Amino acid sequence: MKTIIKGTEVLSCKGSKVQKMDRTKSIFFILFSFLYSLSSISQEQDSTKVNKLDDVLVSAVRVTAKTPVTFSNMDKKEIKFRNLGQDIPVLMNYLPSVVTTSDAGGGIGYTGIRVRGSDATRVNVTINGIPYNDSESQGTFWVNMPDFASSVESLQLQRGVGTSTNGSGAFGASLNMLTDSYASKPTGEISSSYGSFNSNKNTVKFSTGLLNDHFELAGRLSTIKSDGYVDRASSDLKSYFLQGTYVGKTTLIKALVFGGTQKTYQSWNGIDAEKLNSDRTYNSAGEYTDEAGNIRYYDNETDNYDQNHYQLHWSESFSDKWSTNLALHYTKGKGYFENYKEDAVMSEYNLAPVGTISETDLIRQKWLDNDFYGTTFSVKYKDEKLDVILGGGWNKYEGDHYGKVIWARYASQSELGDHYYDDYSTKTDGNIFAKANYQFTEKLSFYGDLQYRRVQYKANSKETGIVDDTFNFFNPKAGLNYEINQKNTLYFSYARANREPNRTDYEGGNVKPEKLNDFELGWRFNSEKFQLNSNFYYMGYKDQLILTGRLDDVGAPIRANTEKSYRLGFEVDATIKLSEKFLLRPNFTLSSNKNVDLAVEGQYYGTTDIAYSPNVIAGNIIVYSPMENFHISLLQKYVGEQYMNNIELPAAKLADYFVNDLNISYEIKPKSIFKSIMITGLVNNILDKKYVSNGAMWDIYPSYYPQAGINFLAGLTLKF
């Protein structure tokens, strides 16, 4: 765990909660058995309706080209060419306005994503419409779902506020993922990859196909390991995915169980400017001086976490006009990170002095043990002119945070298993929404979206104090979509968003909720050989919780309210088919991201750049296909200079960087044994650019996260 606020787990040490766990497991077992019994029911298939049923799972949170919302899509076909073990943020790196980073430097382990300068806590993530962001930190920890990309059918990234969604409100972007659809025929897949830093991924997938034309069972097992680019930044990741599906004439029922186990050596300290020039891979995590004065490294300075997700979805299409979706979800996990602390003050760990000795070397563990459960639902009506969705969700988080000392040079009166702190928190999050697209004329349509969200958060800890807050948010959205002709479309939208503080904000005394007004004006052009999406955006904030560049004692980013700020930008992305063999996919973002009349600790700074918000972000993919099923792609990414704090301190400036990757894939389709043999290769940073994609500030001193130079991954996938 990078911070003590992470994931969504179950507390199993109290009797009432054990009963809750048992009831939940029993319910899922009964429902899964019910799914199996349905497989024996014979119904006439309607392939058109069945294909549409899967879309119902995410229709409540996704948009189409007829919606005045700025978005990008990625599907399984695009993902598979680079799916060699790196996390989902890295696979999304070439989407517009996206900046990604990796603590270990190679894209495996802890990775992060920012969209339009907004960090991961502002990117609302859903899986099949179910919230994934951690309830307290609001962050997304992809390391807890290793190789999840292998089970993703498609994903959509909405930039800006976007459409109403479940979970924490989108404040910079929303990302919704749809997991694998069902397969009509039995399939199997084995894939392996190997590359630099001893990185390797092994994945096995299967599907029974539709048994009795109605029931499918599919699954995946994966392991990923890497030593990391940074010293000792190793990752040992395991994951699974199991899905049972029932398909009827008008019914789709899915039961999913998926999760992961991760152990990563900590690499989130960064390095100073001197080390950046002399020893880019240096890692201070676990460093200590032994009794003889020798510098040593603790071999278990690790993050350890288990997370398991349970989802049940029931989609029903009553007619061509009416459809519904109901989902239940439950997430359980448990984990800790472990540190060697040199010369720790004994009283801070409830240890009494030993004679005159009041400090000791010790090894501590900070634990998180909690659970997250709830429901989402939607009803959809669609005719020739009107498309309406009514929906909502209710979710509850219950969490324990506690610490243990597992070894001390002077253990005093302590016993193994003692807790030196115990915190407890709950968060209830409910929302209802109504959204509609109405076709006024053949060319003009109106989009309206109203959401009410209520959040109750309670916490009790030394850092936060006693918290008992309730927030009531009203988030309206509206827009117009005008089709000039078959090729050209204009859209304009306005969206209001409100967001509650996270746990770290309470620890820092920043407890004002944020407010955002988002204006989007876009033009879409679509022809056979050329597609263009362009848009202007203005995001005006009240009390935005901006990143300060500083980290707390457990590595969590510290934020602070700024009274007035904005993001103004212009985004363009295109797909250009030059010939049957050449394809270009460029994109760029030009933006101005400003704090207005900024004052920090009583000192006035005026208008300044918002931290971690580059003014220029550009990407490009050049695809050359010399023959069928053989693709060579050059992937390019440019990120302009950015500050790591909000007062434009020269030492806080991150230099711009331009990185090129080379991706090669060749698919062979034999006539026997295998349906497909795919060979893939990825050379990252082919020009061996020495660059830094992220950093932090320790007072006036910068800390950097260097990324790997030239490195490679190669894979083989067998389908049968």
Residues 401-425: pLDDT tens digits? 999 999 999 999 999 899 999 999 9
- Reply yes or no on whether the pLDDT at 8 is more than 50: no
**Cα 369 to chain centroid, rounded:** 21
Q: pLDDT-based confidence at 65, cuts 50/70/90? A: confident
**464-483 pLDDT per residue, tens:** 888 999 999 999 999 999 99
Segment 611-621 shows an average pLDDT of 97
Q: Among 299, 296, 266, which residue's Cα sits nearest to residue 283?
A: 266
pLDDT at 144: 93
Domain count along the chain: 1
pLDDT at 14: 39
Beta bridge partners of 151: none
- Return d(Cα 490, Cα 466) in angstroms, integer: 50
- Return d(Cα 594, Cα 581) in angstroms, integer: 43
Segment 661-685 shows an average pLDDT of 95
Mean residue pLDDT across the chain: 90
- Return d(Cα 162, Cα 59) in angstroms, integer: 13
Tokens found for residue 617: 């972000």
Angle, alpha carbons 627-633-639 (nearest 5°): 165
Number of helices (H), then strands (E), in the chain: 6, 37
In a domain, 1, yes or no: no
- Return d(Cα 401, Cα 398) in angstroms, integer: 10
Lowest mean pLDDT among 50-54, 134-138, 363-367: 50-54
Tokens found for residue 92: 């999304």
Q: What are phi and psi of 645, to 5 degrees?
A: -145, -175
Tokens found for residue 40: 């024996």
Q: Identify the DSSP state of 354.
A: B
Segment 331-338 shows an average pLDDT of 95
- Reply yes or no on whether the pLDDT at 31 is more than 50: no
In a domain, 674, yes or no: yes
Query: What's the per-residue H, E or C state across 128-146?
Result: CCEECCCCCCCCCCHHHCC
Pair type for strands 642-643 and 603-609: unpaired
In a domain, 434, yes or no: yes
- Reply yes or no on whether the pLDDT at 184 is more than 80: yes
Q: What percent of the chain has pLDDT over 70?
A: 92
**If DSSP codes are grouped into helix, strand and coil, which group holds residue 367?**
strand
In a domain, 244, yes or no: yes
Find all residues with CB under 8 Å of 417, minimum gap 6, and list them. 404
- Return d(Cα 451, Cα 453) in angstroms, integer: 6
- Return d(Cα 396, Cα 25) in angstroms, integer: 17
Contact of 160 with 123, CB cutoff 8 Å:
no
- Return d(Cα 395, Cα 469) in angstroms, integer: 16
In a domain, 8, yes or no: no
What are the Cα distances from residue 604, in Å, to 420, 613, 646, 647, 648? 41, 21, 12, 10, 13
Q: Among 696, 705, 9, which residue's Cα sits nearest to residue 336?
A: 9
pLDDT at 408: 95
Up-side HSE of residue 669: CA atoms within 13 Å toward CB? 3
Query: What's the per-residue H, E or C state across 389-458?
Result: EEEEEEEEEEEEEEEEEEEECCCCCCCCCCEEEEEEEEEEEEEEEEEEEEECCCCEEEEEEEEEEEEEEE
Contact of 404 with 441, CB cutoff 8 Å:
no
Q: Among 557, 558, 483, which residue's Cα sits nearest to residue 523?
A: 483
**If DSSP codes are grouped into helix, strand and coil, which group holds residue 582?**
strand
Q: Among 118, 106, 117, which residue's Cα sits nearest to residue 143?
A: 106
Find all residues with CB under 8 Å of 275, minimum gap 6, and list them. 282
Contact of 678 with 665, CB cutoff 8 Å:
yes
Give the CATH number of the domain where residue 247 resides: 2.40.170.20
Q: What are phi and psi of 37, to 5 degrees?
A: -65, -30
Looking at per-residue pLDDT, the higher value among 566 and 18 belongs to 566
Question: Residues in the chain, how many?
Answer: 720
In a domain, 193, yes or no: yes
Tokens found for residue 619: 């990407």
Beta bridge partners of 565: 541, 595
**637-656 pLDDT per residue, tens:** 999 999 999 999 999 999 99
- Return d(Cα 247, Cα 229) in angstroms, integer: 46
**570-608 pLDDT per residue, tens:** 999 999 999 999 999 999 999 999 999 999 888 999 999
- Return d(Cα 598, Cα 544) in angstroms, integer: 12
- Return d(Cα 480, Cα 71) in angstroms, integer: 16
Q: pLDDT-based confidence at 52, cuts 50/70/90? A: low
Locate tokens 């959401």: which residue?
A: 451
In a domain, 261, yes or no: yes
Q: Among 489, 592, 584, which residue's Cα sits nearest to residue 537?
A: 592
Please give the helix or strand (H or E) that residue 380 lies within, else none: strand 359-382
Contact of 176 with 62, CB cutoff 8 Å:
yes
pLDDT at 511: 84
- Return d(Cα 709, Cα 589) in angstroms, integer: 25
What is the extent of the structural domain holding 477? 15-719
Kindly report each contact of residues 674-679 with a partner whose C-beta sits within 8 Å and lies 24 or more positions away, as own/partner: 674/718, 674/719, 674/720, 675/187, 675/719, 675/720, 676/717, 676/718, 676/719, 677/716, 677/717, 677/718, 677/719, 678/80, 678/715, 678/716, 678/717, 678/719, 679/714, 679/715, 679/716
Contact of 404 with 373, CB cutoff 8 Å:
no
Q: What is the DSSP string of 147-203?
A: TGGGGEEEEEEEESS-S--SSSPPSSEEEEEEEPPP-SS-EEEEEEEEEGGGEEEEE
Handedness of CA 505, 508, 511, 514 (dihedral sign): negative
- Return d(Cα 504, Cα 2) in angstroms, integer: 13
In a domain, 491, yes or no: yes
What are the Cα distances from residue 264, in Å, to 69, 109, 227, 707? 38, 7, 10, 17
**510-560 pLDDT per residue, tens:** 889 999 999 999 999 999 999 999 999 999 999 999 999 998 877 788 999
Q: What is the pTM of this model?
A: 0.90
Lowest mean pLDDT among 15-29, 245-259, 442-456, 478-492: 15-29
In single-letter form, the type of residue at position 675 comes to: K
pLDDT at 55: 65
Pair type for strands 152-159 and 71-75: antiparallel
pLDDT at 163: 87
Q: Identify the DSSP state of 485.
A: S
pLDDT at 27: 40
